[in-house]
Amino acid sequence: MTSMNRPKSQISTATSIAYIATFAALIVVLGAVAIPVGSAGVPIVLQNMGILLAGMLLGMWRGGLATTLFLGIGLLGVPNLAGWNPTISALAGPTIGYLVGYLISGFVVGAIAQLTSRTTKTADRAIILSVAGLVGVLIQYICGTFGLMARLHLDLGAAIAANTPFIIGDLLKIAAAVAITLAVMKAVPHLLPASARASR
Protein backbone atom coordinates (compact mmCIF):
# COMPACT_ATOMS: atom_id res chain seq x y z
CA MET A 1 0.00 0.00 0.00
CA THR A 2 2.80 2.41 0.92
CA SER A 3 4.63 1.96 -2.38
CA MET A 4 1.38 2.44 -4.28
CA ASN A 5 0.66 5.70 -2.48
CA ARG A 6 4.10 7.22 -3.10
CA PRO A 7 3.66 7.95 -6.82
CA LYS A 8 0.31 9.63 -6.13
CA SER A 9 1.92 11.82 -3.46
CA GLN A 10 4.90 12.60 -5.68
CA ILE A 11 2.64 13.54 -8.60
CA SER A 12 0.64 15.85 -6.34
CA THR A 13 3.80 17.57 -5.15
CA ALA A 14 5.18 17.85 -8.67
CA THR A 15 1.87 19.28 -9.89
CA SER A 16 1.84 21.84 -7.09
CA ILE A 17 5.40 22.90 -7.94
CA ALA A 18 4.39 23.24 -11.60
CA TYR A 19 1.41 25.43 -10.66
CA ILE A 20 3.58 27.61 -8.42
CA ALA A 21 6.20 28.06 -11.14
CA THR A 22 3.57 28.71 -13.82
CA PHE A 23 1.82 31.43 -11.83
CA ALA A 24 5.13 33.02 -10.82
CA ALA A 25 5.97 33.21 -14.53
CA LEU A 26 2.53 34.64 -15.29
CA ILE A 27 3.05 37.42 -12.74
CA VAL A 28 6.42 38.23 -14.33
CA VAL A 29 4.89 38.37 -17.82
CA LEU A 30 2.19 40.75 -16.59
CA GLY A 31 5.02 43.17 -15.77
CA ALA A 32 5.08 44.04 -19.47
CA VAL A 33 2.23 46.46 -18.73
CA ALA A 34 3.38 49.51 -16.73
CA ILE A 35 1.82 52.97 -17.02
CA PRO A 36 3.48 55.75 -14.98
CA VAL A 37 1.02 57.90 -13.01
CA GLY A 38 1.20 60.55 -10.32
CA SER A 39 4.32 61.99 -8.77
CA ALA A 40 5.27 59.16 -6.40
CA GLY A 41 6.90 57.04 -9.08
CA VAL A 42 4.43 54.14 -8.71
CA PRO A 43 3.14 52.85 -12.09
CA ILE A 44 -0.17 51.18 -12.91
CA VAL A 45 0.65 47.51 -13.40
CA LEU A 46 -1.13 44.21 -14.00
CA GLN A 47 1.14 42.21 -11.72
CA ASN A 48 -1.05 42.71 -8.68
CA MET A 49 -3.92 41.09 -10.62
CA GLY A 50 -1.63 38.13 -11.25
CA ILE A 51 -1.06 37.84 -7.51
CA LEU A 52 -4.81 37.95 -6.89
CA LEU A 53 -5.30 35.19 -9.47
CA ALA A 54 -2.57 33.05 -7.89
CA GLY A 55 -4.22 33.27 -4.49
CA MET A 56 -7.77 32.79 -5.79
CA LEU A 57 -6.90 29.79 -7.96
CA LEU A 58 -4.15 28.07 -5.96
CA GLY A 59 -5.07 28.82 -2.36
CA MET A 60 -3.02 30.12 0.54
CA TRP A 61 0.18 28.09 0.33
CA ARG A 62 0.57 27.56 -3.40
CA GLY A 63 -0.64 31.09 -4.22
CA GLY A 64 1.58 32.60 -1.55
CA LEU A 65 4.57 30.56 -2.69
CA ALA A 66 3.98 31.61 -6.32
CA THR A 67 4.22 35.23 -5.19
CA THR A 68 7.27 34.43 -3.06
CA LEU A 69 8.97 32.77 -6.05
CA PHE A 70 8.09 35.73 -8.28
CA LEU A 71 9.73 38.15 -5.85
CA GLY A 72 12.58 35.78 -4.98
CA ILE A 73 13.91 35.39 -8.50
CA GLY A 74 14.15 39.17 -8.68
CA LEU A 75 16.44 39.16 -5.65
CA LEU A 76 18.83 37.12 -7.79
CA GLY A 77 18.85 39.89 -10.39
CA VAL A 78 16.33 38.37 -12.80
CA PRO A 79 14.17 41.15 -14.36
CA ASN A 80 10.72 40.46 -12.92
CA LEU A 81 9.00 43.76 -12.10
CA ALA A 82 7.27 46.36 -14.23
CA GLY A 83 9.75 47.88 -16.66
CA TRP A 84 11.79 44.66 -16.41
CA ASN A 85 13.60 45.72 -13.26
CA PRO A 86 14.61 43.07 -10.71
CA THR A 87 13.26 43.05 -7.15
CA ILE A 88 16.72 43.82 -5.81
CA SER A 89 16.77 47.16 -7.64
CA ALA A 90 13.50 48.19 -5.99
CA LEU A 91 14.57 47.53 -2.38
CA ALA A 92 15.72 51.11 -1.89
CA GLY A 93 12.95 52.66 -4.00
CA PRO A 94 9.47 54.01 -3.22
CA THR A 95 7.67 50.85 -4.35
CA ILE A 96 9.24 48.56 -1.72
CA GLY A 97 6.10 48.74 0.43
CA TYR A 98 3.94 47.49 -2.42
CA LEU A 99 6.28 44.52 -2.89
CA VAL A 100 5.89 43.64 0.78
CA GLY A 101 2.14 43.96 0.26
CA TYR A 102 2.38 41.61 -2.72
CA LEU A 103 4.06 38.98 -0.56
CA ILE A 104 1.52 39.18 2.26
CA SER A 105 -1.53 39.43 0.02
CA GLY A 106 -0.58 36.31 -1.94
CA PHE A 107 -1.10 34.22 1.20
CA VAL A 108 -4.09 36.17 2.57
CA VAL A 109 -6.06 36.17 -0.70
CA GLY A 110 -5.48 32.42 -0.99
CA ALA A 111 -6.65 31.77 2.57
CA ILE A 112 -9.89 33.68 2.03
CA ALA A 113 -10.46 32.14 -1.42
CA GLN A 114 -10.32 28.65 0.09
CA LEU A 115 -13.54 29.44 1.95
CA THR A 116 -15.34 29.00 -1.37
CA SER A 117 -15.09 25.25 -0.77
CA ARG A 118 -17.89 25.63 1.79
CA THR A 119 -20.47 26.57 -0.85
CA THR A 120 -21.48 25.45 -4.32
CA LYS A 121 -23.40 28.62 -5.19
CA THR A 122 -21.68 30.77 -7.79
CA ALA A 123 -23.02 33.99 -6.24
CA ASP A 124 -21.61 33.07 -2.82
CA ARG A 125 -18.27 32.17 -4.34
CA ALA A 126 -18.19 35.47 -6.22
CA ILE A 127 -18.75 37.34 -2.97
CA ILE A 128 -16.00 35.45 -1.16
CA LEU A 129 -13.54 35.97 -4.02
CA SER A 130 -14.44 39.66 -4.22
CA VAL A 131 -13.75 40.06 -0.51
CA ALA A 132 -10.45 38.22 -0.99
CA GLY A 133 -9.50 40.59 -3.81
CA LEU A 134 -10.48 43.70 -1.86
CA VAL A 135 -8.55 42.58 1.22
CA GLY A 136 -5.52 41.74 -0.93
CA VAL A 137 -5.48 45.12 -2.63
CA LEU A 138 -6.05 46.89 0.70
CA ILE A 139 -3.01 45.11 2.13
CA GLN A 140 -0.98 46.27 -0.86
CA TYR A 141 -2.17 49.85 -0.36
CA ILE A 142 -1.41 49.84 3.37
CA CYS A 143 2.09 48.44 2.90
CA GLY A 144 2.64 50.72 -0.09
CA THR A 145 1.57 53.76 1.93
CA PHE A 146 4.11 53.04 4.65
CA GLY A 147 6.75 52.44 1.99
CA LEU A 148 6.07 55.84 0.44
CA MET A 149 6.28 57.47 3.87
CA ALA A 150 9.61 55.79 4.56
CA ARG A 151 11.24 56.30 1.16
CA LEU A 152 9.79 59.65 0.03
CA HIS A 153 9.24 61.13 3.51
CA LEU A 154 5.59 61.84 2.74
CA ASP A 155 3.13 62.45 5.54
CA LEU A 156 0.31 59.92 6.01
CA GLY A 157 -2.28 61.95 4.11
CA ALA A 158 -0.05 62.51 1.10
CA ALA A 159 1.01 58.86 1.03
CA ILE A 160 -2.61 57.69 1.13
CA ALA A 161 -3.55 60.18 -1.60
CA ALA A 162 -0.81 58.74 -3.83
CA ASN A 163 -2.88 55.55 -4.05
CA THR A 164 -6.04 57.20 -5.38
CA PRO A 165 -5.13 57.00 -9.12
CA PHE A 166 -5.04 53.21 -8.81
CA ILE A 167 -8.39 52.57 -7.11
CA ILE A 168 -10.69 52.33 -10.14
CA GLY A 169 -8.18 50.24 -12.08
CA ASP A 170 -7.67 47.87 -9.16
CA LEU A 171 -11.43 47.43 -8.71
CA LEU A 172 -11.61 46.42 -12.38
CA LYS A 173 -8.70 44.01 -11.87
CA ILE A 174 -10.51 42.43 -8.91
CA ALA A 175 -13.66 41.99 -11.01
CA ALA A 176 -11.62 40.43 -13.82
CA ALA A 177 -9.77 38.11 -11.42
CA VAL A 178 -13.06 36.96 -9.88
CA ALA A 179 -14.62 36.29 -13.30
CA ILE A 180 -11.56 34.33 -14.46
CA THR A 181 -11.42 32.35 -11.22
CA LEU A 182 -15.10 31.40 -11.36
CA ALA A 183 -14.68 30.21 -14.96
CA VAL A 184 -11.61 28.14 -14.07
CA MET A 185 -13.38 26.68 -11.01
CA LYS A 186 -16.06 25.28 -13.31
CA ALA A 187 -13.51 23.79 -15.68
CA VAL A 188 -11.06 22.55 -13.01
CA PRO A 189 -13.12 22.20 -9.79
CA HIS A 190 -10.34 20.68 -7.67
CA LEU A 191 -7.61 23.19 -8.49
CA LEU A 192 -8.27 25.34 -5.40
CA PRO A 193 -7.65 23.46 -2.12
CA ALA A 194 -10.51 23.23 0.34
CA SER A 195 -10.49 25.25 3.54
CA ALA A 196 -9.42 23.40 6.68
CA ARG A 197 -12.95 23.12 8.08
CA ALA A 198 -14.48 22.04 4.79
CA SER A 199 -11.91 19.28 4.28
CA ARG A 200 -12.69 17.57 7.59
CA dist 148 and 98 (Å) reads 9
Taking alpha carbons only, the member of 132, 128, 100, 102 closest to residue 116 is 128
Of the chain, the percentage scoring pLDDT greater than 90 comes to: 75
What pTM does this model have? 0.88
Taking alpha carbons only, the member of 138, 137, 155 closest to residue 146 is 155
CA dist 69 and 109 (Å) reads 16
pLDDT per residue as tens digits for the range 86-133: 999 999 999 999 999 999 999 999 999 999 998 889 999 999 999 999
Contact 82, 31 (CB under 8 A): yes
Residue ranges with strand state E in the chain: 34-36, 43-45
